[in-house]
Amino acid sequence: MYKIDFSNPSSIYFVGIGGVSMCGLAELLAHAGFKVSGSDRAPSPLTHHLEEKGITVFYGQNYKNITDDIDCVVFTSAIHPDNPEYIAAHDKNLPCLTRGQLMGQVMQQYQNPIAISGTHGKTTTTSMLSQILLQADTDPTLFIGGTLKSIQGNVRIGSSGYFVTEACEYTNSFLSFYPRIGMILNIEEDHLDFFKDLDDIRASFHRFAQLLPADGLLIINADIPEYQEITADLPCQVITFSAHGDADYHCSDISYDRMGCAAFTLHSQGHEDRQIKLSVPGVHNMANALAAIATADFLEIPTAHTQAALLSFAGPDRRFEYKGTIGGLTVIDDYAHHPTEIKSCLEAANGIAHNTLWCIFQPHTYTRTKSFLKEFAQALSLADRVVLADIYAARETNTLGISSEDLQKEILKLGKKCDYFPSFDEIENFLLENCTKGDLLITMGAGDVHKIGENLLGI
């Protein structure tokens, strides 16, 4: 594998530079003195941000963009061998790295690289820990999968030894990382276009845990079935957490405010009991907070900073994000696109006073929709009314013959009211005719479904 010499900046080209993680890596290398350029399919706020930093971005991927003065080409997992820039890089015998491999090499430049993994909750937990490190003035470098308001973006380049990033299991990307501290928030079936089954996914997370050095730390959710299989042979310290039961970090005396945000007593080995108050709703966010607190304790962050950071933390963008109120209708947006995430989000919503709970759901990828059709229906049935948009294809084409109408049929079988409309305009008109004062509306999914709520609010 090609090794980047960080003491001797060179020329790096990013294919798919507009992706959240790729954009951050490009900005970090440019900040370190590298000549950075890249391409993406179309302009976006992230590519405009890079251009403002002096980084050249080509729109459309062209063989001629790969010039002889490029020292290394970086690809995302979405780039296939028939991509013209992929072909050009290999025709010219240029060194190539995946995004995960580059991230791993970057992590090796820091004293405390922290990688946050799990099927769900990565962005929120990464944001929580980031907020704690910022509160404690540790000057961290941060890579977040969503926008954190306190840094007005998803990337912050610091000058200390603290480095925090999300660690995604898709295509085994996180197995190229070099963390000193690792988190496993949960392990469930997902990305079944890549993994064979749950056992295959668990094996991948086990290999991720084995990356941790002897002086490192694994923080793992004790609610993961048979989690000891993941931790049994590790040389590093292991700390467990659970919002539901017994673990190294657990809660008692739990109460909720009118928005469903928890306050609780934290119990943890080696520390006095502490009072924690969150400003994000749901039991799942209690678990996320426990993982972030355990990391902060390992890094010897004073408790007062941790408490203040969690109290001020209102969540990253698109994670139970309050968008506004119009005519007495409250609009929230959430990124949930897996049945477990949907269940957690709707349970949190049901903790808020409302008349009718509306869920406007946009399924994400044909593979995931087909794999979890019945599970999606069960999770969505926690809403009073469900409205479905067309499936957001993302990286896929519909070779499976699946559609949102199939999901609608499953929801109707459960006795829930469910409507389907192929266009956002039709959905918006339906909602304007049917939502009333006191209702709570959540736009949900990993695609562009957030536009529906924003259009209703006129923002």
Q: Which residues pair with 274 in a beta bridge?
A: 266
How would you class 42 by CB atoms within 10 Å of its CB: exposed for 0-12, middle for 13-18, buried for 19 or more?
Answer: exposed
Active site residues: 122-123, 166
Of 60, 55, 1, 67, the residue nearest 28 (C-alpha): 55
Integer Cα distance of 316 and 322 in angstroms = 11
Please list the helix, strand and coil fractions of the chain in percent, rounded to the nearest 5, in that order.
35, 25, 40
Integer Cα distance of 398 and 376 in angstroms = 18
> Do β-strands 112-117 and 96-98 pair in parallel, antiparallel, or remain unpaired?
unpaired
Specify the residue for token string 């089954």.
197
Of 18, 41, 164, the residue nearest 103 (C-alpha): 164
Of 186, 190, 295, the residue nearest 243 (C-alpha): 186
DSSP annotation of 259 reads: T
Q: What is the 3-state secondary structure (H, E, C) of 161-178?
A: CEEEEECCCHHHHHHHCC
Helix axes 303-312, 122-135, angle to 10 degrees: 130
